[in-house]
Amino acid sequence: MNLWHQIRPFLSKFVRFMHISYLEAKSNYQGTRLGLLWLPVSTLLFTGMLALVFRHSDAMTITEFFLYVLSGYILWQFIQASIITSTDIVQRQLEFAIHNNLTLAGLFGKLLMDRLFEYGINLALLVAVIVLLSPGNVDLNLALFIPFVAIIVPTSLAVSYLVNAVTIFFPDLSTLVKTGTRFMFFASPVFWVATDRTDIRTLLVQYNPVSYYMDITRQVFGILPLQPASWISSALVSLGLCVAGYITFVYSQNFVRNIK
């Protein structure tokens, strides 16, 4: 009972911000027949195209490859949103936040909720497709979803603040960040299979941290076998990013508000 009283305000805030994210996301599709359904539909269409065009491994059936790409692309969208929508948050949205009872940290939290809302919709799609196409994938590994979320949520928040801070201090990096993110899409195992690696892919899988996150999301949904090394690597990368994000926040939160 006591625990319930402690978590209730957080749950209530969570529901409130999810409702806000829902209304705001809906506004982006205002006037369309499908409305918010365009979110999973566009994911599905793009994944289908990727899976058809880039299928290059006979080791995987078309269904397996489709699930491989879908799980990767859904996480990629979350990663991409964490980076490219974070380039000018303080300068563009702080005043709006202040008028809506949000602090600087609250603003980043609210934007994280927006990303999680869209990610949640796409995850529902992934689960539905898995249940439909490959129900055997749903097993005990699904319990890893909790540590997975515990890894990606603070990482997304930290990356968002870091990107914002860096682009405030070095505005030229804003374009570079956007271009780099596009490059990272191709350099990450979203639509290519790490086991089919050529030399360059070996390097990419080893040194591109995104590949560890891709691995663990696929392990959660039974698309790849469990590999503790990927979890350790992604947890370490996340820890580093979170520490860097926290330190940057502590030392820059005052200054960034006063840069015009």
Partner 1 sequence: MSASIEIENASVSYFMRKVGTSDKASEKGSVGAQIVVGKRYLEIAALRNISLSLKTGDRVGLIGINGSGKSTLLKVCAGALAIQSGSIEIKGMVSPQFALGSGIKPNLSGRRNTELKCLYMGTPQSKIAAATEEVKELSGLGGYFELPIRSYSAGMRSRLVMSLMRLVRGDILIMDEWISAADASVNKTVSKLQSDLIESSSILIMASHSQRILEDWTTTLLWLDRGEIKAMGPVADVYADYKKWMNTKA
Cα distance between residue 15 and residue 41, in whole Å: 25
Helix (H) or strand (E) holding 116: helix 104-133
If the CB atoms of residues 113 and 130 are measured against partner 1, the closer one turns out to be 113
The tokens of 62 are what?
A: 């078309």
If the CB atoms of residues 107 and 194 are measured against partner 1, the closer one turns out to be 107
Is 96 a binding residue for partner 1 by CB under 8 A? The answer is: yes
Site mask for partner 1 (CB under 8 A), range 18-37, x = bound? -xx--xx-xxx-xx------
Q: At what angle do helices 210-220 and 145-169 cross, to 10 degrees?
A: 160
Q: Closest distance between partner 1 and the C-beta of residue 12, in Å?
A: 9
Cα distance between residue 8 and residue 27, in whole Å: 29
Q: Do 235 and 227 form a contact (C-beta atoms < 8 A)?
A: no
Among 171, 20, 33, which residue's Cα sits nearest to residue 100? 20
Binding residue (CB under 8 A) for partner 1 from 16, 34, 35, 61: 16
Cα distance between residue 226 and residue 8, in whole Å: 34
Q: Which window, 33-41, 76-84, 91-99, 121-129, contacts partner 1 (CB under 8 A)?
A: 91-99
The tokens of 239 are what?
A: 């820890």
Helix (H) or strand (E) holding 201: helix 199-207
Q: Tell me which DSSP letter residue 66 carries.
A: H
- E strands in 12-167: none
Q: Closest distance between partner 1 and the C-beta of residue 22, in Å?
A: 10
If the CB atoms of residues 62 and 105 are measured against partner 1, the closer one turns out to be 105
Q: Do 41 and 125 form a contact (C-beta atoms < 8 A)?
A: no
If the CB atoms of residues 41 and 105 are measured against partner 1, the closer one turns out to be 105
Binding residue (CB under 8 A) for partner 1 from 95, 131, 247, 251: 95
Is 98 a binding residue for partner 1 by CB under 8 A? The answer is: yes
If the CB atoms of residues 198 and 254 are measured against partner 1, the closer one turns out to be 254
Site mask for partner 1 (CB under 8 A), range 235-254, x = bound? ------------------xx
Q: Which window, 17-25, 52-60, 183-191, 213-221, contacts partner 1 (CB under 8 A)?
A: 17-25
Is 198 a binding residue for partner 1 by CB under 8 A? The answer is: no
Q: At what angle do helices 104-133 and 145-169 cross, to 10 degrees?
A: 140
Contact residues for partner 1 (CB under 8 A)? 15-17, 19-20, 23-24, 26-28, 30-31, 94-96, 98-104, 171, 253-255, 257-260
